[in-house]
Amino acid sequence: MIRTRRRILVLAAALATATTVAACGSDSAAPGGAAGPPQPGGTMRYGLSQAPTCSDPAQSGSNQTLYVTRQIVDSLTDQDPATGELKPWLARSWEVTPDAKVFTFHLVDGVTFSDGTPLTAESVRNTFDSIIRLGSAKAPLAASYLTNYVGTTAVDRLTARVEFSKPNAQFLQASSTTQLGILADATTGKSAEQRCLGDNIASGPFTYGSYRQDASVTLAKRAGYQWGSAVFGHRGEAYLDKIEFTVVPESGVRTGSLASGQLDAISDALPQDTPQIEATGGRVLSTANPGVPFGFQPNVTRGPLRDPAVRQALLPAIDRKQLVDTVLGPQFKPASSTLASSTPGYQDLSARLAHDPEKARGILDRAGWVPGGDGIRVKNGERLSFSVIFSQVFAGNQAIIELVQQQLRQVGVELKLDLLSLAETTARQNAKDFDSTYYNTTRADGDILRTTFGLDGRNLNARDRVPALDDALDGQLSTADTDARTALVHTAQQQALDAGLWIPTVELSQAIGASGTAQDLRFEASARLQFFDTWLSGR
Amino acid sequence: MARYLTLRVLQAAWVLWAAFTISFVVLYLLPADPISIAADGAGAGTPVDKAAIAELQARYGLDRPLWEQYWTALGHAVHGDLGHSIVTGQPVTDAIGDALPSTLGLAGLALLFATIGGVALALAATYTRRPWLRTALGALPSLGVSVPTFWTGLLLLQLFSFHWRLAPAFGGHGFSGTVLPALTLAMPIGAVIAQVLASGLASTWRQPFVDVALAKGGSRWWVQRKHVLRPASVPTFTIAGVLVGNMLAGSVVVETVFARPGVGRLTQTAVLAQDIPVVQGVVLLTSLVFVTVNLAVDLLYPLLDPRIAARSWRAAPAENTPAELGGTAEKVAIHG
């Protein structure tokens, strides 16, 4: 009896390993084809790691919020996660003027919102106008995508022309995001607070059933949905009848609930939970977040980080592969540029980031930082020591930074850890009261370099103008031509590294735990879940 | 009696006002600006327009002088309006109203378990004449207090939910969904009850009236039940305020482990996001609970031990009632 059970376990583990390996390359949960053709029906029970902050797609920021809001709203365009290319969704086609100031969208005919009202060019205008009213405090991402927004004109019933006062090339990719999803007048007419109560009306494949803040959200399939994006795997309605999101903050409880069949899929599966998930026939799906990978952003006006040579020496001093192997596991990748590898326009700069402690020591020696009595380098009486402020938004942060601390010590640099709550981190960042700050940002467009490093942004580097960098950052925003824009994004990536404005460490990955019954759980281009093609086998 | 009650109600109002004021001062002394934090979302990393922040601060009245904010908030609070959550936009009274039933159910069942378990343990430990058993039982409360609630919860889940699948692991309703979290929460509280009651029983057994009762020919069990238990339980009731505090603190952990939306979780998320209106609402709620529990305990004393009533009603109540917020077991021991 015991022997049989052990044999089954070994077999299950082997199968699970095989499917994980197969799933790694494809960004989706294709379980090796054994599950057969998709079956409609059933309720997907999903465990979120944090409560969604608001039910409004436009006000969504966190991953856990977006997992819910992405399902109820359609966007004008959709982004292919494999190629980064923009595909038709609510807009069947579009034109952009060469100066990237005017965007004209031709809408699909016959689309209705879930309250029965039709999608028109006016819906597009009302949606974008309402985001301007929400403002950048309530809808920070959506409002930043609409910077310099002049207005939207309904040219005719199904043609919407969106105009900006300055070039805004990133807007086309932004039109594919959840934040700029098109909402019905029933929702856009409401106040910011009313839009968070779980009765938002949109045209998506699912609609809100019940919404209990901090507890659970139930979504129901939209009958008659026919306008899925060109990226979706099938046409027509979604397969699932319902999706039940429950907030389960404790990771051990999420994993246990998945393994014991009380949930079908969970957010934020930790590396140490993987064996338990795989032992019960499940698997961990992962995809790398696009955007700026995790890293240290130095305040160039304080301490030893004022010295450009010190910032340059930090790049080869960090062993990124060791960070991934020791702390995170195979779903994660070492950072190889100032953009994550899944971001459109990414350029592989891993040669510049190769681990080479001798090189780091050489740079510091030449810059006059000589080892002191305790091994930490000194120059003109100043110790080569700086602190980093960070919060535990990602569970691995502290362990990663502790390992970096050891690695830097090898080349004579002292790193001091300052773990804060998210609230304190934001406050210290806004006051520019830090030597360096550690975080990452998700966005599937190279414009994230401008929001992270641009002088007109938060400028956490507290830097002055760097002509080559600033020209590239501004230039990519005014170039509608994809190739020319990619070239500028490449330049900006190199320049940010040259100026030592970001010391990259690792790329964030989403790790979703899925049971054996959850099939075709897919990530969209911004690494958030899209449940349209998902189905349940054996139910 | 009427004068006593009026005084107590005034006292309760004073405690509520103090709680409101102190929490207001503490929250506004914090360096971070709640609007910037709310606007930053999950650290979205995008710059937030200063004008938009200013507009939002105006909407929440955070741009006005501090004393004016204080008077407005206090005036509204008196009328039962606790404002809106800065993060979710939900009215604070609704947020608390949604969270309260689940926490009340949890706390009620936990108190029941803790009382049954704690009293049984204390009775057994003081009743038995076998020294080894007495030592063993006497050690259990310390164990119950020192084991982390977090660990107990995960262990119970592992066995009863993941392994035997007898109870749901999260979001549970009804008895089957509440029993595991209630047991988890009951563990440290039951341990405190057992500890205090056992020491009360032990000292009561040494009282002369016990010898009298035994001399009349009563069995040990009869004496314990009829003569010892009631006076010995007075210190246990005195620490009711502490127990309620334990319970509220424990509910933060238990509600997180068992994924129950309740007051504990609400508090945790509100504190992390510096959602000042929600934190203030919770502070007011907990002060109200403390005040009510202590009043109930004061009114219960005469039923437990007539000697206390004889003293309390005659003297000025505010000075002699044993169960003020700071009331301790020793203070009562003098009465007993």
- Residue closest to B46 by CA, chosen among A430, A79, A103: A430
Whether A307 and A227 share a structural domain = no
The residues, any chain, with a CB within 8 Å of residue A163's CB and separated by 6 or more, are A101, A102, A103, A149, A150, A151, A152, A153
Q: Do A143 and B269 touch (CB under 8 A)?
A: no
Determine the 3-state secondary structure of A209 from DSSP: strand
- Most A CBs within 10 A among B35, B46, B96, hence the mutation to make, goes to B46
Task: Please report whether residue A421 resides in a domain.
Answer: yes
Taken in order A470, A472, A473, A475, is the CA torsion positive or negative?
Answer: positive
pTM, full prediction: 0.85
- Give the Cβ contact number of residue B54 at 10 Å: 14
User: Which two three-digit tokens encode residue A314?
Assistant: 């930090």
β pairing state of A503-504 and A291-298 = antiparallel
Q: Do B89 and A193 touch (CB under 8 A)?
A: yes
Task: Please report whether residue A252 resides in a domain.
Answer: yes
> Taking a contact as any Cβ pair under 8 Å apart, which residues of chain A between 402 and 431 contact chain B?
421-427, 430
Q: Give me the pLDDT at residue B58, please.
A: 82
Q: Do B273 and A423 touch (CB under 8 A)?
A: yes
The domain total for chain A is 2
- Give the Cβ contact number of residue B64 at 10 Å: 14
The residues, any chain, with a CB within 8 Å of residue B66's CB and separated by 6 or more, are B28
Nearest to B259 among A143, A248, A391 (CB): A248
CA distance linking residue B145 with residue A358, whole number of Å: 53
Nearest to B37 among A63, A143, A423 (CB): A423
Q: Which residue has the higher pLDDT, B236 or A255?
A: A255
Task: Please report whether residue A527 resides in a domain.
Answer: yes
Whether A443 and A461 share a structural domain = yes
Which range is least confidently modeled, A444-448, B6-10, B151-155? B6-10
User: Which two three-digit tokens encode residue A78?
Assistant: 């959709």
Whether A127 and A139 share a structural domain = yes
Whether A90 and A212 share a structural domain = yes
* DSSP 8-state class, residue B226: I
- Mean pLDDT for B27-32 is 73
Residue A23's domain spans which residues?
8-287+510-536
CA distance linking residue A532 with residue A261, whole number of Å: 22
Q: Which residue has the higher pLDDT, B84 or A36?
A: B84
Q: Give me the pLDDT at residue A458, please.
A: 84
The residues, any chain, with a CB within 8 Å of residue B202's CB and separated by 6 or more, are B126
Q: Give me the pLDDT at residue B309, please.
A: 59
Q: Do A441 and B272 touch (CB under 8 A)?
A: no
CA distance linking residue A313 with residue A161, whole number of Å: 49
Q: Give me the pLDDT at residue B333, please.
A: 34
Whether A261 and A374 share a structural domain = no
The residues, any chain, with a CB within 8 Å of residue A446's CB and separated by 6 or more, are A170, A339, A343, A344, A345, A346, A476, A485, A486, A489, A492, A493
C-alpha dihedral over B45, A177, A158, A89, to 10 degrees? Answer: 170
Q: Do A215 and B31 touch (CB under 8 A)?
A: no
- Mean pLDDT for B131-135 is 90
| Residue A212 touches partner B, C-beta closer than 8 Å | yes
Continuous segment of H or E residues that includes residue A266: strand A265-266
Nearest to B272 among A65, A421, A458 (CB): A421
Whether A267 and A406 share a structural domain = no
Whether A245 and A324 share a structural domain = no
Whether A503 and A514 share a structural domain = no
Q: Give me the pLDDT at residue B323, please.
A: 39
| Residue A210 touches partner B, C-beta closer than 8 Å | no
Whether A405 and A497 share a structural domain = yes
Q: Give me the pLDDT at residue A29, please.
A: 41
Q: 3-state DSSP helix/strand/coil percent for chain B, to nearest 5? A: 75, 0, 20
- Mean pLDDT for B183-206 is 92
Residues from chain A contacting residue B154 (CB–CB below 8 Å): 250, 252-253
Task: Please report whether residue A184 resides in a domain.
Answer: yes
> Taking a contact as any Cβ pair under 8 Å apart, which residues of chain A between 516 and 535 contact chain B?
none
Tell me the per-residue pLDDT of A165-205, one tens digit each, with 9 for 90 and over: 999 999 999 999 999 999 999 999 999 889 999 999 999 99
CATH code for the domain of A57? 3.40.190.10
User: Which two three-digit tokens encode residue A452?
Assistant: 């992270």
Distances in Å between the Cα of B184 and the Cα atoms of A115, A539, B253 are: 45, 34, 10
| ipTM tops the 0.95 cut | no
Task: Please report whether residue A473 resides in a domain.
Answer: yes
| B283 CA: distance to closest CA in chain A (Å) | 19
pLDDT at B324 over 50: no
| Residue A276 touches partner B, C-beta closer than 8 Å | no
Task: Please report whether residue A2 resides in a domain.
Answer: no
User: Which two three-digit tokens encode residue A91?
Assistant: 């807009």
pLDDT at B219 over 70: yes
CATH code for the domain of A386? 3.10.105.10
Confidence of residue B297 (pLDDT cuts 50, 70, 90): confident
CA distance linking residue B270 with residue B250, whole number of Å: 17
CA distance linking residue A501 with residue A490, whole number of Å: 15
Q: Is A445 exposed, middle or buried (0-12, 13-18, 19+ CB in 10 A)?
A: buried
CA distance linking residue A446 with residue A289, whole number of Å: 13
Whether A407 and A448 share a structural domain = yes
Whether A464 and A527 share a structural domain = no
- Give the Cβ contact number of residue A11 at 10 Å: 11
Whether A412 and A489 share a structural domain = yes
CA distance linking residue B336 with residue B331, whole number of Å: 9
C-alpha dihedral over A181, A187, A188, A190, to 10 degrees? Answer: -140
Nearest to A262 among B48, B169, B261 (CB): B169
Q: Do B32 and A262 touch (CB under 8 A)?
A: no
β pairing state of A265-266 and A43-48 = parallel
pLDDT at B51 over 90: no
Task: Please report whether residue A1 resides in a domain.
Answer: no
| A256 CA: distance to closest CA in chain B (Å) | 6
Q: Which stretches in chain A have pLDDT values below 70?
A: 1-35, 539
Tell me the per-residue pLDDT of B156-165, one tens digit each, with 9 for 90 and over: 999 999 999 9
